[in-house]
């Protein structure tokens, strides 16, 4: 007699609900590492032009082949343009500039990893979402983790204040763009909506690349790999997953995933780039990881109180 072990329905649902967030974390984290691999071979805006342009071309082909629906009016089109300017153009212009100026992949991920705090503030103002005191304490713990990692680097000669300011620009782009997309683009088609966003970002990056950098790129195997990865896995895959997760849940809840990205990024950077770990960095990871756990438990407890169910 053969016995087959199967997941119970609740367990299967739980595993399924974790799959997309875990995949998103891995894909988004890889972008910091691959971006750091690419910046020695291409100036920031040139790299962005290649990333956005290839991604836009691929999505256009998919949209046309599958006869995907386009924005129904100019207003819907305009909302997609704004999201493209914020999430794609502004965020990654700041990020790649920071990487080029010496900020490590892990540090960049940690700075952008403070996004949950600012997203929660914005979600309360723009979307009417509310966070409890325990969630705010957890989010502040995440910020403390970021400070532990970044503070000792300032003035060390590896990157100046301008480089970290560029990373803060990236943080502003992803935070504002995520909130705007949640509010105004909740029904967009991933194929045509993604194309519009990447096409707009390409139109921003291309003239800056030509005017400021002379489209400075050296084609090496690493550069070719990085361009393809950033375009397909990050610009299309990770960005699409972020939108799907935003559509399925609250903005502040989805944003809390960004607390986990720094730890995953640094592990990837340690393995691929040889970036070192030290006591403060590890303390920062512990603080941010604890912040995710604390925020999650606080949110579960808050939901259970409303529904009368005990948190699992």
Token pair in block for residue 262 = 């720094």
Question: How does pLDDT run across 44-58, given as a tens digit for each residue?
Answer: 899 999 999 999 999
Alpha-carbon gap, residue 49 to 195, rounded angstroms: 14
Token pair in block for residue 67 = 């006869």
Question: How does pLDDT run across 207-225, given as a tens digit for each residue?
Answer: 999 999 999 899 999 999 9
Instruction: Indicate whether 205 belongs to any domain.
Output: yes
- Nearest CA to 223 out of 30, 97, 41, 99 is that of 41
Q: Are 107 and 243 in contact (CB under 8 A)?
A: no
* pLDDT, position 287: 72
Instruction: Indicate whether 296 belongs to any domain.
Output: yes
Instruction: Indicate whether 140 belongs to any domain.
Output: yes
Tell me the torsion sign for CA atoms 179, 180, 181, 182.
positive
* pLDDT, position 13: 40
Instruction: Indicate whether 97 belongs to any domain.
Output: yes
Once rounded to an integer, what is the mean pLDDT over residues 86-92? 93
Instruction: Indicate whether 172 belongs to any domain.
Output: yes
- Parent domain of 301: 36-307
Instruction: Indicate whether 11 belongs to any domain.
Output: no
Domain count, the chain: 1
Instruction: Indicate whether 18 belongs to any domain.
Output: no
* pLDDT, position 295: 60
Instruction: Indicate whether 13 belongs to any domain.
Output: no
């Amino acid at each position: 007699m053969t016995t087959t072990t199967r997941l119970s329905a609740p367990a299967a649902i739980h595993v399924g609900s974790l799959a997309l967030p875990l995949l998103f974390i891995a894909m988004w984290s890889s972008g910091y590492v691959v971006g750091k691999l690419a910046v020695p071979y291409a100036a920031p805006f040139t790299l962005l032009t290649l990333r956005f342009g290839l991604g836009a071309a691929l999505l256009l082909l998919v949209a046309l082949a599958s006869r995907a629906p386009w924005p129904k009016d100019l207003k819907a089109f305009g909302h997609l343009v704004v999201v493209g300017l914020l999430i794609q153009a502004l965020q990654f212009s700041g990020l790649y500039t920071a990487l080029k100026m010496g900020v490590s992949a892990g540090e960049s991920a940690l700075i952008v990893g403070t996004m949950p705090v600012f997203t929660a503030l914005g979600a309360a103002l723009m979307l009417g979402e509310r966070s409890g005191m325990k969630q705010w304490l957890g989010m502040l713990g995440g910020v403390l983790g970021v400070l532990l990692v970044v503070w000792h680097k300032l003035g060390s000669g590896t990157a100046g204040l301008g480089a970290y300011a560029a990373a803060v620009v990236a943080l502003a782009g992803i935070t504002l763009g995520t909130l705007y997309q949640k509010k105004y683009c909740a029904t967009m088609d991933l194929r045509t909506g993604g194309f519009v966003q990447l096409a707009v970002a390409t139109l921003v990056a291309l003239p800056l690349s030509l005017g400021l950098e002379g489209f400075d790129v050296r084609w090496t195997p690493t550069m070719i790999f990085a361009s393809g990865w950033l375009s397909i896995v990050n610009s299309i895959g990770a960005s699409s997953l972020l939108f799907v997760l935003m559509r399925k849940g609250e903005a502040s809840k989805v944003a809390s995933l960004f607390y986990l990205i720094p730890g995953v990024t640094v592990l990837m950077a340690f393995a691929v780039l040889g970036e070192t770990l030290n006591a403060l960095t590890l303390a920062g990871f512990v603080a941010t990881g604890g912040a995710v756990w604390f925020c999650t438990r606080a949110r579960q407890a808050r939901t259970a109180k409303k529904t009368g169910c005990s948190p699992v």
